[in-house]
Structure 1
Amino acid sequence: MNADAIAKPHERLAAYLTEDMAAVSTLIRERMASKHAPRIPEVTAHLVEAGGKRLRPMLTLAAARMCGYAGPYHVHLAATVEFIHTATLLHDDVVDESEQRRGRPTANLLWDNQSSVLVGDYLFARSFQLMTEPGSMQVMQILSNAAATIAEGEVLQLTAARNLATDESVYLQVVRGKTAALFSAATQVGGVIADAPDTHVQALYDYGDALGIAFQIVDDLLDYQGDTGATGKNIGDDFRERKLTLPVIKAVAKADDEERAFWVRTIEKGRQEDGDLEHALSLLTKHDTLSATKVDALAWAEKAKNALAVLPDHDVKDMLGDIADYVVSRIN
């Protein structure tokens, strides 16, 4: 079997976009430099060089290439997307009091919360500088709206995540905010910078939106049934952090009085005891909510692939379809 046949789709896409991704990396390194505050590149490099897949900036480059863009500014937009993403990770880890990210200690653990928050602010500011450089008002609207939507989704999650009244529609609103907004903006601006027709730009938005939702649902599912070595997270972190994610929302909807009391105690009131995670897992199994969550993830991945149908035939288009499949293959 040749290397192409066994490479993961995001790796194939990265190989296809090698030169563009190298240009993005160079630009990121240039723009995260700081003459006066050396801690900024230190903290940023810890995350940026951590070996993440860089999926979001790749989506921007891929969309621009697929739509025939030949100019230089897709690189600026991809770097913008990565800066927004990195800034939100720095802030998230402080909010969640996380100690591990991609299998490594978080910046807030290695430095402190102040450094993580302030460097995150710096990266947001850098992202806004970068997004102005192509000189497109539409691009600036899309990316600045995404930044606001991400922040809104995170704040909504603060109140929704520990409230048993949170249903699947509120969960979807949170996910659209904190995760899918950047995926859809990343793909959409690739089409806009290439001056693609409105129908193609909309299709790219729809693809990114559905892919982002599938991605987050899978993440939430892996928290209860993932391999710690592969995910870099401990099983049950969301439960310990009292996050009401889709598998639990589905279980709460089917809970009897005794089960509901358990969820109130552990999630709403945060009074967790030894054995609670095991009991939570047994309730998810009893109501088959992990399987039901997987069905939802697969449906969103299918929606992402269907959105690509109107786009022109291109090697990248096939890879984007494969990425949608790959995102949900992590739960098989």
Structure 2
Amino acid sequence: MNTFTYIVLLGLLTLEAAIAAPMKNEKPAKKLRQIQVLPGDLLEEFAYMNQDALNFYDYEEELTINEPQIEIGRLTPSGNRVLVNYDSDYEEELIPHEPLDPGAPSVPGLLGPDTKEGLPTCLLCTCLSGSVYCDDTDIESIPPLPKDTTYFYARFNKLTNIKKGDFSGLNHLKRIDVTGNRISSIDEDALRQLPELVDLMVASNELVQLPELPKTMINIDASHNKLHSNGIKKEAFKDMSNLEYLYLAGNALSYVPLPLPESLRSINLQNNNVQQIDNDTFCNSKDIHYVRKALELIRLDGNPINLSKTPDAYICLPQVPHGNY
């Protein structure tokens, strides 16, 4: 057999082997049958001449592809994520520490004292750095408050009264805002024992009487209630040496509540029933040199009074009152 024939046979065998070989990333068959392309005598002779080119043994090698690790997450009944590693023979649960139970004995009072509804105050309302926000929660009574409460807001609810013990022991309470409720009464001792109270907002309620307040007051807003002059105690504001803002608009007051402290900067008596102003209402008729520098704003518009009839009543003021002349 000449050399050319051997080369042709070698090329045929190489081509057959290439076709039978597995493609890349393709799993080969378990076994390959022995290739029979030549007569027996030629096959034996050619195999003897080129043992490296011909291999008629069974092909047993399997192609192995490294599978990427897959991380599968699922939720446990407690809501924590569990990581399952399928490259190993076990499951490893990576569960963070459970949060503290607010009701556990180890954290008493974390959400404040319980209300009549059976909920802690700071769950019914929002507590943040000494402030308690109970706006628009439909509460009908003042909830028990944490002892460190500084600012209390319960606007636009269904409150009908404020009782003596509602703010008992709250020695850091500075502000109470219960605007927009249905409050018709405040117990006489409900507020006057609060040592740091400076702001009281009870506007847009149904109050007929203003309770005694502590001398520490700076801002009082009792606008749009049902207050008559006999609903404010005599000399109610006299000793409030820090009082700056007094809002009593939209009531039924027939005269200005006197005396007014020297610290007062603004008094709003719009839309009442004030019918008379005296020379001593804002000034001191006995001291012609007296000047009341702090009182910059007086609103008397909406009252049945002609301010031009008492011109000497405003001589000590930086500005004349707003109203009818």
Range of TM-score over shorter length: under 0.3
Higher helix content, 1 or 2? 1
Larger radius of gyration: 2
Q: Normalization by structure 2: what TM-score? A: 0.23
What TM-score, normalized by structure 1, do the two folds share? Answer: 0.23
Q: Which has the higher contact order (CA 8 A, sep 6+)?
A: 1
